[in-house]
């Protein structure tokens, strides 16, 4: 079930990773201030729509710029300007690759022994051997323990 969830998220992640370099950076004053100004909306106008004081809008825009704004506050401000808030967590690499790498890292003692024996025979670890080691690692290390300090034992 987790493998299927990872596959679905990896499909989305692949698309998003391709888009990330093309996405614009936030305007200098932040998205809320930039959008508000582009709409020709004053802080007082946005404050009225949010039911807060203009000073609260200034604090909101500042907290966005410094990265301390709460997501629900950002969502309310976006909605007050008839905008959608999009918050994404995009893995730097496919999740399945991360899980496989972690599992092999934890299972590394066996892989290191196999690599040592193979290097003595002037061989490298084949993809077949890697898959075999990964299958053994999957049997020995369940997903639920991958990210613990001491996942084995």
pLDDT band at 107 (very low <50, low <70, confident <90, very high): confident
Calculate the CA dihedral of residues 45, 51, 52, 58 and round it to 10 degrees.
-40
Top-confidence residue, 6 or 120: 6
Least confident of 58-72, 75-89, 129-143: 129-143
Phi/psi class of residue 51: alpha, beta or left (left: φ > 0; alpha: ψ in -120 to 50)? Answer: left
Round the average pLDDT of the chain to a whole number and report it: 87
């Amino acid at each position: 079930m987790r493998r299927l969830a990872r596959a679905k998220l990896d499909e989305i992640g692949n698309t998003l990773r391709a888009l990330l370099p093309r996405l614009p950076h936030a305007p200098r004053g932040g998205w809320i201030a930039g959008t508000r100004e582009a709409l020709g909306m004053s802080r007082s106008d946005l404050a009225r729509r949010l039911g807060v004081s203009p000073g609260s809008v200034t604090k909101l825009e500042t907290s966005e710029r410094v990265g301390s704004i709460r997501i629900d506050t950002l969502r309310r401000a976006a909605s007050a300007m008839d905008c959608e808030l999009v918050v994404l967590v995009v893995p730097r690499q496919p999740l399945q690759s991360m899980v496989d790498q972690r599992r092999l890292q934890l299972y590394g003692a066996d892989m290191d022994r196999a690599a040592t024996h193979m290097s003595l025979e002037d061989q490298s670890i084949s993809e077949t051997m890697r898959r075999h080691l990964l299958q053994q690692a999957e049997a020995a290390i369940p997903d639920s323990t991958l990210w613990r300090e001491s996942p084995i034992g």
